[in-house]
Homo-oligomer: A and B are copies of this chain.
Amino acid sequence: MAPLRVGVVGASGTSGAVAARLVAAHPRMVLAFATSDARTGESVAATLGMRLANDVRFAPNAAAVDHAGACDAVLLATPADVSMRLVPAFVDASKQVVDLSGAFRLEAKEYPRWYAMEHTAPALLARAHYGLPELFGAPPGGSFVANPGCYPTAALLALAPLVREGLVETTGIVVDAKSGVTGAGRQSGDAYSFLAVDGDVRAYKVLAHQHTPEVERALSRVASAARVTFTAHLLPVPRGLLATCYARPRSGATRERIQSCLVEAYGRSAFVRVVPPGDVRLSGAVGTNLALVGAAADGDVVVAIGAIDNLLKGAAGQAVQNLNLMNGWDEALGLEHLQRFAA
């Protein structure tokens, strides 16, 4: 069978480069084209440090649509405003689309506040499938994928089963998240120099992070309207993300019930592993598409913790997982070997 021809838009950025490598190494995909405004004209193989069957050069992002005819699917690792401009053409052309930006994760009316812009393609929002397969399944026919944010992925995998089963209150939830520098948004400038980051930790975008409504919206799909406080912190590590989540227990939310809820939710999952809460750590997830989750409870609180690699399960890995599912393949295809070499 012919391999799936996949284009990657924004393929020299942090997530985009990982996505391009995963596609190129995937047993049933081939890298059809790659775009990058920063690297236009350069060799993709040389930039990514890998061998390609057919070496290609980066096109500019704006030229991505010109390549639509040469691909079956496209992954966009671009800023939200760029994705809003580019996604419609690929959807219209009936290509498989996975957008890694936040452009299609919220309702149109939320964009001015959280992304500081009007949504320019609101009609498409209804067709976007929020691509967290362990919670929301495979993308249905006719949909395209809004690939979840890194923080929401970790927080939702830890919390959502407990919310769905009614074990915790849906208001007053706190998500205290910590991420390495590749997960902290824009990474150039003095704020991300070695001197500024090494030995330091700080919160950022306090009470103003755009992943807050994303977590609330996703939790609200599994229960009633959820209210979440979200704080992001910058860690002196290159990769990995930990989300420590707090919720008030409902009656019956014993430690045992909490634990069995997670085990039932993920017992057959290819990528989510339920471990004791003190074993949920960056080092168990970094370099893999795994998510580690664990929880504890006493009478006052339920603590649920999730850890992922922000570039894999939190971005490019999950995008490939979604693309696998769109094609009816094993969701772990091209991803499972990562964990063999992570440590």
The residues of A with any CB-CB pair to B shorter than 8 Å are 17, 21, 24-25, 49-51, 172, 174, 176, 178, 181-182, 187-188, 190, 192-207, 227, 229, 231, 233, 235-240, 242, 244, 246, 248, 277-284, 286-287, 296-298, 300-301, 303, 305, 336-343
Q: Taking the full assembly, how many copies of this chain does it contain?
A: 4
User: Do A242 and B231 touch across chains, with their CB atoms under 8 A apart?
Assistant: no
- Enumerate chain B residues within 8 angstroms of A278, measured Cβ to Cβ: 202-206
In the assembled complex, the Cα of A287 lies from the Cα of B277 at a distance in Å of 28
Query: How close is A136's CB to chain B, nearest CB, in angstroms?
Result: 25
Given A21-B341, A199-B238, A202-B242, 13 new contacts (CB under 8 A): A182-B195, A187-B195, A192-B195, A194-B236, A198-B236, A198-B237, A199-B240, A200-B283, A201-B235, A202-B278, A202-B282, A203-B242, A229-B300
Contacting residue for A198 out of B188, B194, B281, CB 8 A: B194
Given contacts A193-B194, A198-B198, contact A203 B280 (CB under 8 A): yes
Contacting residue for A244 out of B203, B238, B242, B301, CB 8 A: B203
User: Do A200 and B296 touch across chains, with their CB atoms under 8 A apart?
Assistant: no
In the assembled complex, the Cα of A197 lies from the Cα of B193 at a distance in Å of 9
Contacting residue for A178 out of B24, B50, B194, B233, CB 8 A: B233
User: Do B282 and A238 touch across chains, with their CB atoms under 8 A apart?
Assistant: no
User: Do A181 and B195 touch across chains, with their CB atoms under 8 A apart?
Assistant: yes
In the assembled complex, the Cα of A73 lies from the Cα of B289 at a distance in Å of 32
Given contacts A188-B190, A244-B203, A278-B203, contact A195 B233 (CB under 8 A): no
Given contacts A172-B172, A172-B248, A343-B49, contact A237 B199 (CB under 8 A): yes
Q: Choose among A193, A196, A231, A246 the residue with the greatest number of B CB atoms under 10 Å from its CB.
A: A193
Instruction: Across the interface, name the chain B residue whose C-beta is closest to A287.
Output: B341
Query: How close is A188's CB to chain B, nearest CB, in angstroms?
Result: 6
- Enumerate chain B residues within 8 angstroms of A286, measured Cβ to Cβ: 199
- Enumerate chain B residues within 8 angstroms of A50, measured Cβ to Cβ: 339-340
User: Do A176 and B244 touch across chains, with their CB atoms under 8 A apart?
Assistant: yes
User: Do A24 and B237 touch across chains, with their CB atoms under 8 A apart?
Assistant: no
Query: How close is A55's CB to chain B, nearest CB, in angstroms?
Result: 14
- Enumerate chain B residues within 8 angstroms of A305, measured Cβ to Cβ: 203, 206
Contacting residue for A199 out of B196, B231, B283, CB 8 A: B283
In the assembled complex, the Cα of A235 lies from the Cα of B300 at a distance in Å of 26
Contacting residue for A238 out of B25, B195, B229, CB 8 A: B195
